[in-house]
Chains A and B, each alone.
Chain A
Amino acid sequence: MNSCEHKSRGLLWHWPFKNISAIFLVIICILSSAPQALARPIVANISPRSVDITHDFDGRDVLLYGARTDVGRIIVVLRGPRKDYVVRKKERVGGLWINNQSAVFRNVDSFYTIASTHNLSEIDNNALLTHLQIGNTDQLIIRASGPLTTEQEELFRKAFINERVNSQLYSPDVRPISFLVETLFDTTLRFPRNIERGWYTAEVYLFNNGQLSAMQSTPIEVRKKGFEAFMFDFAHNHAPLYGIVCVLIALLSGWLASTLFGRGK
């Protein structure tokens, strides 16, 4: 379901080449033949295109690289599966600290990291950046549903972003984008060790004079692999059978233990 939502949301087109030399080659061909007729002002690819979570998974860097044929400032955003969250606040009730007030945030990126060639303020079009949901983590617009005052909502929003930053799922720093030559750029973004599985998107924006002149979105899948994936899927997709297997294992090992050690109390 996630992948469908993803596709309808932002996938413009795919760059079909998987390695950097192919890109170089294509760009050289294009530039030498007809530079004025170039249809796409910015192209990019990401490597790897999928990330596997295994038992010793400790986070993973992904390399995003591409070329621009137009002047402008580049912003790269890597963000991932939209989810609904509830933020609860503990308050003192009758001497006990218990969850009391809460706010629900719907359809929020569970993961967010950003890289840029320039300081974000230099783009000089806040309305556009807000619309595209681009910014420092503390500028992200996340709306709560529920009967809250603006002040309360702001506190819950901050608490949510704080929690994301603390668990390394939102990165508060804007990472740099480096240029190999005037037209070729690359940047490294990181999936932390606690990344959730699902479909993520790498979005590349080219801004010129405060206007968006090009955009490309590339999907990247994070998936569990091996035994962990098997157990997780088993528990979620065949819950009754999984429960019964758990019970059988316990029954059997209890019987085994009493046979082996002959608990003759």
Chain B
Amino acid sequence: MTIYLPIAELPINILLLLGLGALGGILAGMFGIGGGFLLTPLLIFLGIPAAVAVATSTNQIIASSVSGFLAHWHRNSVDIKMGLFLLIGGLVGAVIGVALFTILESIGQIDLVISLIYIVFLGFIGLLMAIESGRTIWRNRNGSSAISSPVKKGRMKKFRELPLPFQTHFPRSELTVSAILPIATGVIAGMLVSLMGIGGGFIMIPAMIYILGMPTGVVVGTSLFQIIFITSLVTVLHAVNTYSVDMVLAVILIIGGVFGAQIGTAIGLRLPAEKLRWMLALIVLAVCVNLALGLLLEPENLYSVTELEE
């Protein structure tokens, strides 16, 4: 069953795309992450142009973020004020990111930059998670009942103690920090959204816990809150600048994702948390290695042809 994607301009199997969307949804349900970081590279492996893969993943993330956000909203685990400050930075970062994306595409280096950023981030996060969850599993197996991975909130405390202006109180997080910190965090996350086609949750959440010192209960909801707005803006910017959002592809991925999320949630409830993190770490590292090989091995065809748009 093939369907012609009008923007990617190629025919592709619809079941394959539904499965891919479901895979993203399963990951989202199991691990509570967006799954964009896997979806984008997988779409590229399928032959979809990198620009279309990034822009369309961004569009798809809006849907899964809305579902996730609503669940947190009902449980009152969203710090709207903090979310708004993150959002201000995120919007600026998104605009910078899309401008960078357009420049890189015109000089033919967008694929390289996307791969490199992915390799660095996935490698770093995959290794950290593998080490942390591996240790916990090892400790549990040896009968030690030590509490697994206590959150070391104190580690990055110096960021909060810098003598920065605009000290602001955030009642929901019971926290007073300089407004510059969440805005700067937002700028970086926003740039990554435009360049990588991800929600950026896996960058935002550690930053919110370790740098801003927010209570862990509100970070996921707050990050989802601002991701909805950033991904919406980035989708429109990509649509206007690079014409690379494929609505048909996005709808298929969303449908797959909705069902995948139900499956993922069910699996996630049955498996112990550290085993889940260990599995996720392996997936992340596998994607990272695959991307790295693409840059390190000599390609079959050295030449590529691109049409120049006037």
Contacts and interface: CB of A to CB of B under 8 A. Distances in A.
- The main secondary structure of chain B at its interface with chain A is helix
Contact of A263 (B71, B109, B239): B71
Nearest to B303: A159
A240 B62 contact: no
Contact of B303 (A57, A89, A247, A261): A89
Contacts of B3: 55
A235 B239 contact: yes
Q: Give the bracket for the number of chain A residues in contact with chain B.
A: 35 or more
Q: Give the bracket for the number of chain B residues in contact with chain A.
A: 35 or more
A245 to B, nearest CB: 7
Interface in A76-105: 83-92, 95-99, 102, 104
Interface string B108-119: 110110000000
Contacts of A83: 307-308
A89 B302 contact: yes
B280 to A, nearest CB: 17
Contacts, number: 165
Most B CB within 10 A of own CB, among A110, A159, A247, A263: A247
B304 A228 contact: no
A241 to B, nearest CB: 9
Interface of B: 3-4, 6-7, 59-60, 62-68, 70-71, 74, 108-109, 111-112, 228, 232, 235-240, 243, 245, 247-248, 250-251, 254-255, 258, 261-262, 265, 295-299, 302-308, 310
Contacts of B63: 250-251, 253-254, 257
B308 A254 contact: no
A250 B70 contact: no
A242 B247 contact: yes
Given A160-B305, A243-B240, A249 B296 contact: no
B243 A247 contact: no
Contacts of B296: 95-97
B59 A250 contact: yes
A90 B235 contact: no
Interface of A: 55-57, 83-92, 95-99, 102, 104, 110, 156, 159-160, 162-164, 227-228, 231-232, 235-236, 239-240, 242-247, 249-251, 253-255, 257-258, 261, 263-265
Given A231-B248, A246-B250, A263-B261, A85 B239 contact: no
Given A98-B295, A242-B245, A247 B62 contact: yes
